[in-house]
A and B are shown apart, each in its own frame.
Chain A
Amino acid sequence: MSSPRYWREIPQRYRLEAGKCTDCGNIHFPPRLVCSACSGRQFETVKLSDEGTVFTYTIIRVAPSQFVDQAPYAVGIVELDDGVRISAQIADVDLDALEIGQRVRIEFRLIQNEGEAGIICYGYKCVPA
């Protein structure tokens, strides 16, 4: 991953900053310029909840190049307590015991890096609550 691409999303990757539409109250993660619910264009920055529930999940056994070392690993769609859904890895979990409805919380983790010489990319993962 190139530095600018990684760096630009730091508020989202590190702090889960989202945009809340001041017209209809919809929370968008990542923030948008136009609200997909009401076409509003005014937003306030809010931080997403750091706990949630597993909505669905899978175990990635064949991984893209930057993740080959990590496979197998669990990923899921997690519904955070503020109702926003995110995709994230689910770490520190027994791959055979994972289930829909399981409670998780956000932890700061290393997400990917390109080889031994590139930048290290951090961000959110979920872990069992």
Chain B
Amino acid sequence: MVGIVGYGTYIPRHRIKVEAIAKVWGADAPSYERGLLLKEKSVPTPDQDTITMSVEAAKNALRRAQIDPSEIGAVYVGSESHPYAVKPSGTVLAEAIGATPEVHCADFEFACKAGTEGMFVCIGLVQAGLIRYGLGVGADTSQGAPGDALEYSAAAGAAAFIFGDDKVVAEVEETYAYMTDTPDFWRREHQFYPEHGGRFTGEPAYFKHIMGAARGIMAKANATAADFTYVIFHQPNGKFPQRVGKMLGFTKTQIEPGWLSPTLGNTYSGSSPMGLASTLDIAKAGDRILLVSYGSGAGSDAFIFRVTERIDEVRDVAPRTRDQLDNNKVYIDYGTYAKFRGKIRKAT
């Protein structure tokens, strides 16, 4: 049966606290900390981007998969912050892990859903027998305009999943996709920062699509919330996944292992895939996991996984997500953050 053969994540070491951002803009930090359940977020250094984080996450996935990278037949990188407007991120990734030249490669973009898109397509290709292994990556170095609400959450991170039908650590039991045209968040060509529809990003966008996808896949699998050990939803902040989980009948215990956003922020295409990786880090054979992503524009991909016994062999051959999140942190001030993110530029 097709499933996840290896998984890995990467989180940059630098962090900025929500209060450090709020102080600069005269905003009310507690409203973000308590209202949106955001404490701090990861920040990439100027030498880290979607490509570099994808490579490191994919190397961790390969450590767990223990396969020959030349047997990977597809490499897909999903991101809204591909470093090039034209020229794939995936070619660099494929070359860096030694998967070239017999490999299909594409970059995906669908706001925060681009990561699960690559995973979705890999599952299909493996199932169809077109490739032996497929690598799907979600990664972003998301940007929020200075002072905008997004600046408190837009973070950096990557998750990589290798799919195949042997050496599986989590079988794919079901997939489902739910999509409409909903302009809740966008970035036009040549614009540096995205725009969004404020509260319109909530009910008609995030909640409608996540609930549509979650209900759809559970109906397809004839399952209820109680049938899952764990669930992961896209995490634009700390609050939304908790709220949508409650609306769908999930408990905090089911959500907790994959709920990274309070101290990670929103890693966009990396967000729910990183939550899945973090959940796999503690899952046991037989556990069922529901994953529902969300990308503005708007749509959700949903997956049901069942963990196999191989998970115990691979769990600790690469860094766990929570360990990367909680350890070796370097806090920076807003000035350093602004420099790192290109919000201020040095004279040349």
A/B touching: CB–CB < 8 A: yes
Chain B's nearest CB lies how many Å from the CB of A41?
A: 25
User: Which residues between 71 and 124 of chain B lie within 8 Å of chain A, taking CB atoms?
Assistant: 83-84, 92, 95-96, 98
Binary CB contact string for chain A from 31 to 45 against chain B (1 if under 8 A, 0 otherwise): 000000000000000
Q: Which of the 9-residue segments A21-29, A53-61, A76-84, A105-113 touches chain B?
A: A105-113
Partner of B45 from the list A92, A120, A122 (CB cut-off 8 Å) is A92
Chain A's nearest CB lies how many Å from the CB of B145?
A: 19
A80 to B105, CA, bound (A): 32
Partner of A15 from the list B83, B96, B330 (CB cut-off 8 Å) is B96
Q: A92-B13, A120-B84 are in contact. Are A108 and B52 (CB under 8 A)?
A: yes
Partner of B48 from the list A14, A15, A68, A110 (CB cut-off 8 Å) is A110
Chain B residues positioned under 8 Å from A10 (CB to CB): 95
Contact A14 B95 (CB under 8 A): yes
Q: Is B348 an interface residue (CB 8 A)?
A: yes
Contact B47 A110 (CB under 8 A): yes
Chain A residues positioned under 8 Å from B59 (CB to CB): 108
A128 to B47, CA, bound (A): 15
Chain B residues positioned under 8 Å from A125 (CB to CB): 47
Contact B52 A92 (CB under 8 A): no
Binary CB contact string for chain A from 42 to 75 against chain B (1 if under 8 A, 0 otherwise): 0000000000000000000000000011100000
Contact B47 A109 (CB under 8 A): yes
Contact A122 B46 (CB under 8 A): no
A111 to B55, CA, bound (A): 14
Total number of B residues with any Cβ neighbor in A under 8 Å = 22
Contact A122 B98 (CB under 8 A): no
Chain A residues positioned under 8 Å from B51 (CB to CB): 110, 120, 122
Q: Is B56 an interface residue (CB 8 A)?
A: yes
A contacts with B: majority SS: strand
Contact A120 B46 (CB under 8 A): no
A74 to B328, CA, bound (A): 18
User: Which residues between 27 and 47 of chain B lie within 8 Å of chain A, taking CB atoms?
Assistant: 45-47
Contact A110 B52 (CB under 8 A): yes
Contact B55 A108 (CB under 8 A): yes
Chain B residues positioned under 8 Å from A108 (CB to CB): 52, 55-56, 59, 96
Q: A10-B95, A14-B95, A108-B55 are in contact. Are A69 and B48 (CB under 8 A)?
A: no
Chain B residues positioned under 8 Å from A14 (CB to CB): 92, 95-96
Contact A110 B96 (CB under 8 A): no
Q: Is A91 an interface residue (CB 8 A)?
A: yes
Chain B's nearest CB lies how many Å from the CB of A110?
A: 4
Q: Is B184 an interface residue (CB 8 A)?
A: no
Nearest neighbor of B69 in chain A, beta-carbon distance: A15
A122 to B94, CA, bound (A): 13
Contact A68 B95 (CB under 8 A): no
Most buried by A among B45, B47, B96, B348: B47
Chain A's nearest CB lies how many Å from the CB of B341?
A: 12
Closest 8 CB pairs of A and B: A108-B55, A14-B96, A109-B47, A110-B47, A108-B52, A109-B52, A92-B13, A14-B95
What are 9 A-B pairs at a CB distance below 8 A? A15-B98, A69-B346, A70-B46, A89-B47, A92-B14, A109-B47, A110-B46, A122-B51, A125-B47
Q: A68-B348, A108-B52, A110-B46 are in contact. List 19 more A-B contacts (CB 8 A).
A: A10-B95, A15-B95, A15-B98, A68-B346, A70-B47, A91-B47, A92-B13, A92-B330, A108-B56, A108-B59, A109-B47, A110-B47, A110-B48, A110-B52, A110-B83, A111-B47, A120-B49, A122-B51, A128-B328
